[in-house]
Structure 1
């Protein structure tokens, strides 16, 4: 989602699922820390490198706590 910040990108699916904002923020921050994206949470995807964009995509999956991650 190019018009959203990294944090909003990572938390978007949770927002759609009706998760409260406090839980979304906690999960996004945890995933960002895991993926070394903490410094980039306020940036838009176009301001990131290709590798950082890939990590954002992984973060979108991680915050949903999937049973399997391929």
Structure 2
């Protein structure tokens, strides 16, 4: 089953940063999209904010 949620660890791998900055990035995205804390974060929302191609991100996450 393909992965549809992103956690800070995976955001760090995708963006080439460490865990802390990736966590801050997800917090900024949540704030901008008016999502409450502790809610799963979708792959589509992450790609929309970072302007990364959703197909490429999905492939990167699902080939592990």
**Which is richer in strand?**
2
TM-score (norm 2): 0.46
Q: With CA pairs under 8 Å and 6+ residues apart, which has the higher RCO, 1 or 2?
A: 1
